[in-house]
Amino acid sequence: MDACKDPDAFHAYLEQHPGECLFTATTHEMAGMTLFNTFYEELKTKKGGLDEKKLAQFLEDWMKLCEVQNTRSIEEARGLETGSWKQMRNRFNSGFGLKGNQVMIEELNGLMSAMVPYAQAREQGRTVMSLKQYYVPQVFAGINASSKQQELAMEFVECLFEESVQKGDNGDGFPVLKSALEYQSEYVETPEAVEMSVGVGSEDPQTGEEVHISASYPSRDEIDRLSGIIEGLKVPFMMDGMVADTVLEEMEKCYMGEQTAEETAKVICQKVDTYLAE
């Protein structure tokens, strides 16, 4: 996990471990955007833009990682087209699976989304931890200031904070109520939860081996530890959609060889600065 501490640590990892994969199977978009989001705060300037020099170095390192990870072959083998990242809901998804000493960065959106990551971590004897104490704020409901039904709208929003609603595992995040969060460890031992399982399978693009994973909810002890991690999250991850779209678009041109890392960094910084000045 040290390699994901900041851009300098990532650069040092590549120099100290030449030819060694950081992730398991991944794509250029998944690796690039996950790492960019991970390092976003370190790549920002005090004015909110992006540091061109740091960004150029990051892009060079990302391109080196893509070569080591053999992303082009993986994308071809899985039939993945450019633009798949935009179809994902998550801001953090480093790839497919977990093996050996490699890293897996996965954004969890509830108990069900924790099934496979925990099964893989358990199989590899790995520890689940937070990524720089990040959490991703989500806005699902609000009240229009011009609404003529302010009180009724407020009642609806208040209903969303009722414990019975917060206890549900709906794949839209973890509960914001402490009592509902604590209930999660009880829920995984209910008959309903015990019978729940998921199975995923795919071909390992590096070996051609068929890989199948069957996973159920994490254990009560694992959920207790996860709840402790969630309660300790202090850093909201927030990025303007325009910044994310610009980085993704220009990184694609860099990956396709249409422009260098330095040129890509320059274009991104110019576009972001122009946007922020408007």
Q: Are 245 and 37 in contact (CB under 8 A)?
A: no
Do 117 and 224 belong to one domain? yes
State the pLDDT at residue 77: 74
Q: Is residue 79 part of a domain?
A: yes
What total of structural domains would you count in the chain?
2
In which domain, by residue range, is 44 found?
2-91+239-277
Q: Is residue 153 part of a domain?
A: yes
Do 118 and 59 belong to one domain? no
State the pLDDT at residue 188: 94
Do 173 and 151 belong to one domain? yes
CA distance 255 to 143: 42
State the pLDDT at residue 265: 98
CA nearest neighbour of 45 among 244, 273, 236, 274? 273
Model confidence pLDDT, tens digit, residues 61-88:
999 999 999 999 888 877 766 667 776 7
Cα separations (Å) of 65 from 4, 22, 53, 61, 226? 13, 8, 19, 6, 30
Do 257 and 273 belong to one domain? yes
- pTM of the complete model: 0.89
Do 16 and 66 belong to one domain? yes
Q: For residue 25, which phi and psi values (nearest 5 degrees)? A: -80, 135
Sites in the chain below the pLDDT cut of 50: none
State the pLDDT at residue 100: 66
Do 66 and 179 belong to one domain? no
Q: Is residue 227 part of a domain?
A: yes
